[in-house]
Amino acid sequence: MDIAHKNQIYEKLADAMITALENGEVNEQEAAQASQYILDHFERLATKEALIMFLEELSNKYHTFTSVLVEVKSEEIFKDKKIQSLQTQLKEIL
């Protein structure tokens, strides 16, 4: 997983937390706990699979981040379908 993609996801997590705070969905204590959880685990993520597992755990603990999980999973599904399509096209050419 490249650093740019990881940074984008980190920003999405921060945005989700800010939005939840602004909308009163979480209080400051919950936000602090969730932020600490992210800080404790996020840097160690090295693969897409580890990232998705982390986001699933995070979303189960803090529902604020479910939208980020759904978005990342959707992106991965789209990429996988695109790769399959390209592989099929290459097979047809060869």
Model confidence pLDDT, tens digit, residues 26-81? 999 999 999 999 999 999 999 989 999 999 999 999 999 999 999 999 887 777 77
Identify whether the C-beta of residue 70 lies closer than 8 Å to the C-beta of residue 46.
Answer: no
Domain parsing of the chain, residue ranges? 3-93
- Please state, in angstroms and rounded to a whole number, the distance separating the CA atoms of residues 58 and 78: 22
Q: What is residue 31's predicted lDDT score, i.e. its pLDDT? A: 95
User: For residue 75, what are its two tokens?
Assistant: 């992106």
User: For residue 33, what are its two tokens?
Assistant: 């706990």
Q: What is residue 88's predicted lDDT score, i.e. its pLDDT? A: 81
pTM of the model: 0.80
Identify whether the C-beta of residue 55 lies closer than 8 Å to the C-beta of residue 69.
Answer: yes
Q: What is residue 21's predicted lDDT score, i.e. its pLDDT? A: 95
